[in-house]
Structure formats: structure tokens, C-alpha cells
Structure 1
């Protein structure tokens, strides 16, 4: 009896839908085991707040260290999604998850340009000593001497064939942020950075249906990368970009978005939405409240792909609105931007 009670539990087998398999040891999470096995499993915070390791459980049972509902929406939970960083297998599993793409490299870098976009957002450009190749929508981890922890920022420009040595990101100032306070005080101009990239699974998927993009704050960074890349590739899909700000001073990249609209081969519409200022020429309210109208104008929710970047509250509300309007959860892709207090992805101190 005692032998059975204290016997070592057998390792659980995890099979990814792509065919990759690995074993998970006792009291080990799916993410821990995958990374130990050298698998490019998407992740960032590792504490269950950012949602980067969101995976769909197709078969098996897991125990959650922290309830998945703190980060995943009701719609995601009902569809069988889990957080790999918080999931301890109770049986063998079959999991569907997109793996990160691209060879991750570490390069030395220095800031070579800062451009003011709004009162609290800058476009920051680093020059690196090596080439970084990435997909539009992915992000980089940056580190610098004295940093409490690396920070993550999404690329704001389209990739270049053969890679880039100048990497840019839109960065929002967060009061008390270890990185952004120093950045906005211009005390990091000579700092020696290390950049690790690429990371993330946020990129434009193949398809022929419409595209809806929803952003807030510095969440416009990866969306601009995706859109610029789509223009270069002549992606002929109808698209609407919704962007939420509090007031007009929170709107930026207006000229760049106008240029994208002028070059887009089919329908492209940009709809800024202000939540705290009413004007005669912008929509007023929450940006996610415009989802239903945008989908109606695009005309085919069932085949529409949705891409969301911004704060968690916006993402959660956006997912709910999209699903309610007929967009398949499998066609919804997001990147949650949180602040340093959550320990999660920091696309703006992130």
C-alpha cells in the first residue's frame, strides 16, 4: 500500500498537433518541459498573465497552478484553451499551439534615434551589431546594464529580406517604469543594450477573407509592421483598422496609415475611436464597441481574421465582441500588452 502511495508518478507525454512529442515530469508544467526539450514554445511572462503560451487542449486533462480564467476569456475557456505555463498534466495530452518562427539571436545594440509620436509614446530605434530576421508582428526582448529584467517590445516596421540591423518599436511611458522613466529622461542614449529576437506568434495568417485589426496605445506597433508588410506583399484582402485613444492627442501615425490606405489594393478603412473626447470627425466610445459595425461593413464574419494588440481589458472585450458577431475563435489572434507590475509582456513597459 505504502509502496503504491509513494511511488514516483510516470512522466506524461505531450503531443503537439504538428507531430512533435515531449515528456513532462512530475510537478512540471507543459511549458517548462517543452523549453527543456528545446521546443520553441511561445511564452513570455511564465507566470500566467500575458497569455503568450495560450494553447488549445485537444485531448487529456491538466491541473492549473493558477486558474486560467485570470487571463483567458470565457470564450477561450469554453473552447478548451489553457496556459501552458500554468498547466500540469494529469494524463497524456494532445495540444494545438503555433510554435515561434525564426532563429533566435542575441546581438549588441545602441539607441540611435528617438522620435516623439504622442505625449507618452516614442518610436525608438536601435542599431545592432548583427542582423535580425523576424516576421511582421513579432517582438524582441531588450536588456541593458542594471535592468531588473528584460523588456519586450514589438517591431514597428516591416521585415526586410535578409534581416535588419536597425530595429524600431513604439514605446509608451509608464510612470515608475524601470526602463521607460530612464528612456524618456534621455539617460539611456549611450547604454549598451542586448537584443534577443525574434519572439512571438503574432503574424498575419494565410487566408482570403477580410481582416479586422484592433489596437490601443503602443499596440499600434505590431499592427503597423503587419500592415506595412502586407502592402509590400500586395495582400488583396479587405481590411479595417480600429484604433482606440482617450483624446485626439493619443492618435499617431496618421500620415503613415494614410499612405497604407492609398497603397492597399482592395478596401482599407481606418477608424480612430476616442473614449474621453467628442469631436465632429472621430467616433466616440470604446473601440471594441465598433467591432460589430466594422464586421458588418467587411461583410463576412465567418471568414474574417482578427488581430488585436493592446491592454488586457481591450483584448478581452474585443474577443467577446468578435465571437458574438460570428468570428471564429480560431481566427482571432492577439498580443496583450501589460505593465511591469504584472510581470508580463511589456510593449510599453511593459
Structure 2
């Protein structure tokens, strides 16, 4: 009996000129790693963009929506996520291996674990060796008491000469790693930090800065501003920080210290979305994107970091108000819970 259905066979992928075979239903990342290619990767579930690469030729099926992770600039350039792309034809891929080669895994010891709010903990680690990074980048973090589990977190300070690094860990519903950090006193435990990763850092310009953050998305903002102050940057800064209630505000002392030292205008505007009626709060209310009309500096370059819904809403408002997409940079804090529905 003849079959009218053609079984799909493997496709060929050329990765920086190196040909490999990709089996049916196999992602580009799975095939590359199987073939021994040191392909950049981190979370492997479409949540971090570490495996970002350019689709030069051919077609792929994307397993998840990548617009939440990739910027408009990336999408226009034909970028895809290798961990979420299954070839439908032979494909040609270009990937920047330099970033992967620059990454290191450095061990250290947790020296401080401080609760900042009910769901955000500051974790400070003394590394055994230096780990150079750009303020705004992130790393893969793991602790010895939770073997085999690591997660991506942005550096919360600029690179320090004493090789200490800090991260803000927000408790994610059912999150294995974040729940472990919040439940246990990790001071004295060994930890590993792999990085740096990401391309969220301050670009040279004289334009006013608009920084918009939500939740633990304040981490890379603090790092960028600390580094910019040290580098003598004199650009006016407006920071919009979205939180639910007054109890969710943190790092106020750090922000005030930055404001007093900053050599230009410096505004910090917290916006609360769920403050109880009748409270003492006299500041802005609503979602953080609703505050843009009043606080958007003319000609600003925007840096957004936080939940994808917030980042996308703010991006849409900025574009509607004439901010070119090339001047909007974003770091979407997507968790495994966001990407897969579970951790």
C-alpha cells in the first residue's frame, strides 16, 4: 500500500559555516550541543535570549512567542532563539561566539542575604576571582545547597574591585531557586556565577535618560547608574519604578545617595498600582506606563527592565509618543514560570 504522506526527515543547519544535521522536532540548540558546538545558551526555555542567533536563510518553527524576549531591532535583523527554533528547511545560522568565549564560571561564597521587601532578597557573593562585566548585564547563579538548579539574575551593582557581586532575587510562585533563596539562610554557602550575559547596558549619548523598572528590575538600573556616576556621565535621569504598594519600595537610600551625587537633574518617581484606598500615599497611582505622559523627558533614550507585560506596555507608549525604537532598550525579566507555566 502506498503512503500519501511523506515522513519528515532531518534538515541541515549551517552554523557559522559548520554543517550539522538537525533531527525532526529537534531545536537548533539541541542539535548544536549534540554535535559538540559550544553554542551560547543559558535557560534553554526561551526566557533569557542567551542563544540569540541570526537566521540568514531558511525557515524555522518557533515553539514560543519570542517577541517578549527579542527586541524590535533583533526581530528586524532576523534574530531567533535557537532553543525555541525547529528547522522546517535547511537553514543557515550566524551566531556571535565571542560573547560565549568571554563567559566564565567563578565560584564564591554568600556573604550577605538581606530581605528588602516581602518578596525580594538581596544576595551578595564574594567571588574567588574577578568576573568582569558591563553594568546592566546578567549571570547564571547557583548555590551548592540546590545542586543542578541555576537561574538568570542581573548584577545589582557595578563591577567591584573587591570581586563582590550582588543580585536581587524575587520570589516567583512555585519557583524552585527563588523559593530556596527566600526560605534558607545562605550566608556562608558556596555559590557559582556564570557570565556575563546580555546586551542591556548604557550606550554613549548626551540624550536624557528614562529608566523604567518594575519589581526586581531595579537591579540593572542601580548597576547602570552607579557605573555611569563613576564614569562621569552627566545626562539628566528620570526613573519610573512600578510597584504594587508602599511596602514594595526598596533601595530608597541607594537612590537618594545617587541623586545627591548626580551632576545633572535626577528624578525618581515610584508609581503604585495597588495601594489601598485611604493610605498615606500622595504619589503617582496606576500602572507605570500611565505616568509616562507626565514624566517623559523630551528626546529621551529609554532603558526598560521588568516583567514582559510592563516592558511591552511602556514600549508601546514610548513609540506612540515619538521615541524611535532604536532608542528603546529592554531587558524583559521572564521567568521559567512565565515561559513554561512551571518551575
Shorter chain as denominator, the TM-score bin is 0.7 to 0.9
Is 1:290 aligned to residue 291 of structure 2?
yes
| Residue in structure 2 matched with residue 18 of structure 1 by the alignment | none
| Residue in structure 2 matched with residue 317 of structure 1 by the alignment | 313
| Residue in structure 2 matched with residue 104 of structure 1 by the alignment | 103
Can you list the C-alpha shifts for 1:31-82, whole angstroms capped at 9, x where unaligned?
567775446x4x432222444545666x534312314357358967974553
Shift of 1:299: 0.9
Report the CA distance shift for 1:205/1:10 in structure 2 as closer, same or farther (over 3 A): same
- Matched-pair contact (CA < 8 Å) for 2:48–2:69: no
| Residue in structure 2 matched with residue 152 of structure 1 by the alignment | 152
- Matched-pair contact (CA < 8 Å) for 2:113–2:186: no
Report the CA distance shift for 1:249/1:266 in structure 2 as closer, same or farther (over 3 A): same
Stretch deviating more after TM superposition (229-238 or 178-187)? 178-187
Shift of 1:274: 0.4
| Residue in structure 2 matched with residue 62 of structure 1 by the alignment | 59
Shift of 1:242: 0.8
Describe the SS at the equivalent of 2:102.
coil
Distance across 2 between alignment mates of 1:263 and 1:98:
39
Distance across 2 between alignment mates of 1:188 and 1:97:
35
Q: Structure 1-normalised TM-score? A: 0.78
Distance across 1 between alignment mates of 2:66 and 2:106:
37
Shift of 1:30: 5.2
Q: How many residues align?
A: 327
Unaligned 5+ segments in structure 1 are: 16-20
| Residue in structure 2 matched with residue 71 of structure 1 by the alignment | 68
Distance across 1 between alignment mates of 2:264 and 2:97:
29
Distance across 2 between alignment mates of 1:136 and 1:290:
26
Shift of 1:148: 4.6
| Residue in structure 2 matched with residue 275 of structure 1 by the alignment | 273
Stretch deviating more after TM superposition (71-80 or 225-234)? 71-80
Report the CA distance shift for 1:6/1:217 in structure 2 as closer, same or farther (over 3 A): closer
| Residue in structure 1 matched with residue 232 of structure 2 by the alignment | 234
Distance across 2 between alignment mates of 1:51 and 1:292:
31
Is 1:132 aligned to residue 131 of structure 2?
yes
Describe the SS at the equivalent of 1:131.
coil
| Residue in structure 1 matched with residue 3 of structure 2 by the alignment | none
Distance across 1 between alignment mates of 2:168 and 2:32:
31
Report the CA distance shift for 1:78/1:225 in structure 2 as closer, same or farther (over 3 A): closer
Shift of 1:333: 2.2
Can you list the C-alpha shifts for 1:203-224, whole angstroms capped at 9, x where unaligned?
1122232221111111111110
Stretch deviating more after TM superposition (23-32 or 270-279)? 23-32
Can you list the C-alpha shifts for 1:175-215, whole angstroms capped at 9, x where unaligned?
54323333333343343222222222221122232221111
Describe the SS at the equivalent of 2:125.
strand
| Residue in structure 2 matched with residue 207 of structure 1 by the alignment | 205
| Residue in structure 2 matched with residue 216 of structure 1 by the alignment | 214
Unaligned 5+ segments in structure 2 are: 1-5
Describe the SS at the equivalent of 2:83.
coil
Shift of 1:268: 2.2
Is 1:331 aligned to residue 330 of structure 2?
no
